[in-house]
């Protein structure tokens, strides 16, 4: 008998953490490039890429630069992108009519992308905010100042058909109007786009973490762009059950993929949704989640590589199959190194 002090323990969970090999054997969650979707901002013209102040490392790309970027992403194993246009201010209007221009920036971008790189899955956002002067996702009723739900949905369904026509693999309504998934499904099907999938921004919360994105797409001409109030349609951050209702509705209306957004602050919701649906589930690690990690890393306060991994693996662990993240490319690069 050794006289070393020893606890009388049968279970010592640390045993399985004792080496790289044992830790790998017991690893429960994987994160590969194929799980990631890179959101990309696009601009018109053939000038240089534009930097985005509140999203260091992210750029607004012209269509030729977009093609280059997508070639690189594919070579890294990232096979899906979500496109967000920043259109010229003079094309914006209160009713966002540019959204239905069949030659608008994002439509041209999808066409080029799908003809040059057909293997890249392209996700087209469906909402009016890049196109409206007020930055809301739909039509604002001038009397009530509320969004006109059904009139907005009518436009969104047309937008979705345009995106499908241009070759988008997936359309992604991000507006949170009631009934839009069903209306979009019917519109796609009646135009012979029964193969185009719908990724529904189902549980999209009214989040302050969207601030940097609004700078990136210039989704309001006004100074308060970053803090525009969408509480009348996006979910109350206090509500879990309401998120589940939205997910059930989107599933019953024909969504192919459900989404929770933002991701990190809503991991409980992600887990709830994972347990209540068998559909593929997406999570959107949004601009503010990206910005806070990058900003702290730039200050030398956080280790970028490790925080990036940890933020993403947590989202996978909570139940997401796929993650929209501005870190997609950098993460993919970090694992091929």
Say if CB 267 and CB 316 are below 8 A apart: no
* Nearest residue (CB) to ligand PBG, 247 versus 324: 324
Q: Is 148 in the site for ligand PBG (CB under 6 A)?
A: no
Q: Which of 131, 201, 138 is nearest to 173 (CA)?
A: 201
User: Is 133:165 a contact under the CB 8 Å cutoff?
Assistant: no
Q: Name the minimum Å distance from CB 302 to ligand PBG.
A: 19
Cβ closest to ligand PBG, residue 18 vs residue 179: 179
Distance separating alpha carbons of residues 177 and 254, to the nearest angstrom = 15
Q: 237, 207 in Cβ contact below 8 A?
A: yes
Q: Is 40 in the site for ligand PBG (CB under 6 A)?
A: no
What is the smallest separation between the CB atom of 256 and ligand PBG, expressed in angstroms?
18
Task: Confirm whether 337 is a catalytic residue.
Answer: no
Cβ-based nearer residue to ligand PBG, 134 or 214? 214
Q: Are 123 and 82 in contact (CB under 8 A)?
A: yes
Using CB under 6 A, pick the residue from 58, 149, 287, 325 that binds ligand PBG.
Answer: 287
Of 326, 331, 310, 329, the C-alpha closest to 29 is 310
Residue 127 sits in the site that holds ligand PBG (CB under 6 A): yes
Site stretch for ligand PBG (CB under 6 A), options 192-200, 210-218, 271-279, 292-300: 210-218
Which residues ranging from 66 to 125 are in contact with ligand PBG (CB under 6 A)?
Answer: 125
Does residue 139 touch ligand PBG according to CB under 6 A?
no
- Each residue 239-278 as x (binds ligand PBG by CB under 6 A) or -, in order, gives ----------------------------------------
Q: How far, in Å, CA of 332 to CA of 337, rounded?
A: 9
Minimum CB distance to ligand PBG smaller for 193 or for 213 = 213
- Least Cα distance to 128 among 138, 118, 120, 119 occurs for 138
Q: How big, in percent rounded to 5, are the helix, strand and coil portions of the chain?
A: 45, 15, 40
Is residue 174 close enough to count as binding ligand PBG by CB under 6 A? yes
Name the token pair of 118: 């057909």
Asked if 329 is an active-site residue, the reply is no
Query: According to the binding rule CB under 6 A, does residue 314 interact with ligand PBG?
Result: no
User: Which is nearer to ligand PBG, 137 or 253 (by Cβ)?
Assistant: 137
**How many C-beta atoms lie closer than 10 Å to residue 46's C-beta?**
8
CB of 37 to ligand PBG, least distance (A): 12
CA dihedral in degrees (41, 284, 220, 293; nearest 10)? -80
Q: Which is nearer to ligand PBG, 237 or 276 (CB)?
A: 237
**Backbone angle region of 119, left / alpha / beta, with phi > 0 → left and psi within -120 to 50 → alpha:** alpha
CA distances from 172 to 273, 296, 310 (A): 18, 31, 26
**Least gap, CB of 281 to ligand PBG (angstroms):** 17
Of 286, 291, 320, 322, the residue at the interface with ligand PBG (CB under 6 A) is: 286
Active site members: 204, 261
Binding site for ligand PBG (CB under 6 A): 125, 127, 129, 137, 174, 210, 213-214, 230, 286-287
């Amino acid at each position: 008998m050794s006289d070393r002090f020893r606890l009388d323990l049968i279970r010592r969970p640390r045993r399985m953490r004792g080496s790289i090999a044992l830790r790998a054997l017991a690893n429960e969650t994987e994160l590969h490039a194929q799980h990631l979707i890179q959101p990309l901002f696009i601009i018109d013209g053939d000038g240089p890429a534009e930097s985005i102040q509140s999203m260091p490392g992210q750029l607004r790309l012209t269509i030729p630069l977009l093609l280059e970027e997508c070639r690189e992403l594919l070579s890294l194993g990232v096979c899906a992108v979500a496109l967000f246009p920043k259109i010229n201010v003079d094309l914006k209007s209160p009713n966002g009519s540019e959204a239905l221009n069949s030659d608008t920036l994002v439509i041209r971008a999808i066409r080029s992308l799908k003809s040059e790189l057909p293997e890249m899955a392209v996700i087209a956002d469906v909402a009016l905010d890049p196109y409206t002067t007020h930055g809301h996702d739909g039509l604002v009723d001038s009397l009530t100042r509320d969004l006109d739900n059904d009139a907005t949905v009518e436009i969104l369904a047309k937008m979705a058909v345009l995106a499908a026509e241009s070759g988008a693999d997936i359309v992604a309504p991000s507006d949170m109007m009631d009934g839009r998934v069903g209306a979009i499904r019917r519109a796609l099907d009646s135009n012979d786009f029964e193969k185009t999938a719908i990724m529904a921004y189902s549980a999209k919360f009214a989040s302050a973490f969207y601030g940097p994105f609004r700078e990136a797409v210039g989704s309001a001409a006004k100074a308060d762009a970053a803090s525009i109030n969408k509480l009348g349609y996006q979910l109350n951050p206090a509500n879990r059950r309401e998120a589940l209702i939205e997910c059930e509705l989107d599933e019953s209306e024909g969504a192919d993929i459900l989404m929770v957004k933002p991701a990190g602050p809503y991991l409980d919701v992600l887990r709830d949704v994972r347990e209540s649906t068998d559909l593929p589930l997406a999570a959107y690690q949004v601009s503010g989640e990206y910005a806070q990690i990058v900003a702290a890393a730039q200050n030398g306060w956080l280790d970028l590589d490790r925080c990036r991994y940890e933020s993403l693996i947590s989202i996978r662990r909570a139940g997401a199959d796929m993650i929209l993240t501005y870190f997609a490319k950098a993460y993919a690069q970090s694992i091929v190194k």
